[in-house]
Chains A and B, each alone.
Chain A
Amino acid sequence: AQTVTQSQPEMSVQEAETVTLSCTYDTSESDYYLFWYKQPPSRQMILVIRQEAYKQQNATENRFSVNFQKAAKSFSLKISDSQLGDAAMYFCAYRRSSGGSNYKLTFGKGTLLTVNP
């Protein structure tokens, strides 16, 4: 079974600084997707970034980028120029890529990010 581990229950960062959230996973699959989701106090889950395992290039979305190390099964999220609105719970998630829409997301336990003004 796939597992996703987020070893940092809480992190804090100063506004405008950079922070990196860690995530490791375990799978025997060779092709899969990895995601970072943000859950602000409203509790609406928001997709931050997605990485396809077969792509070597790290995904980026504006201030958000990942460091995907497939051999090490590591998938960290870097937030640059942190903003107050980035404060949220961040979940790392894994999903198999083949077989259609039935494949479920496996979530980590989450990292609560606080942004200090």
Chain B
Amino acid sequence: GAVVSQHPSRVICKSGTSVKIECRSLDFQATTMFWYRQFPKKSLMLMATSNEGSKATYEQGVEKDKFLINHASLTLSTLTVTSAHPEDSSFYICSATERRGGIDEQYFGPGTRLTVT
């Protein structure tokens, strides 16, 4: 089945620094990837939709200059949290879409836990 990986799985960074999270589709090409944020015991909140070769579409209230998304290839999207602060600490999940049998299936990565100290 389709596999989506995320790297790193856990990261701790100091306040004011930037951190990059990678999302890769390992065995399929994904024209669209999504980035979510999840707080403890809460639902997934969509941050942005990322299309290969074009600018990401951000959801209302998500700062595009703080959460930089790049989708340079059909298998890789990156989320960079710039000038991170403790309130950015969260669980970040990506998903990638593959068209299979006429249906756009969305596969999720295992998530990245970001802690900003």
Contacts and interface: CB of A to CB of B under 8 A. Distances in A.
The B interface is mostly helix, strand or loop, or mixed, namely strand
Given A101-B31, A102-B32, A43 B43 contact: no
B8 interface: no
A102 B49 contact: yes
B44 interface: yes
Contacts, number: 47
B67 interface: no
Chief secondary structure at chain A's binding surface = loop
Interface residues on chain A, size class: 20 to 34
Contacts of B93: 43, 45
B104 A103 contact: yes
Interface stretch (A12-20, A24-32, A70-78, A104-112): A104-112
Given A101-B32, A104-B34, A43 B111 contact: yes
Contacts of A108: 43
Interface string B57-93: 1000000000000000000000000000000000101
10 contacts: A33-B103, A95-B106, A101-B31, A101-B32, A102-B32, A102-B49, A102-B57, A107-B44, A109-B42, A109-B43
Given A47-B105, A104-B49, A109-B42, 17 more contacts: A33-B103, A43-B93, A43-B110, A43-B111, A44-B111, A45-B95, A91-B44, A95-B106, A100-B104, A101-B97, A101-B104, A105-B44, A105-B46, A105-B106, A107-B44, A110-B42, A112-B41
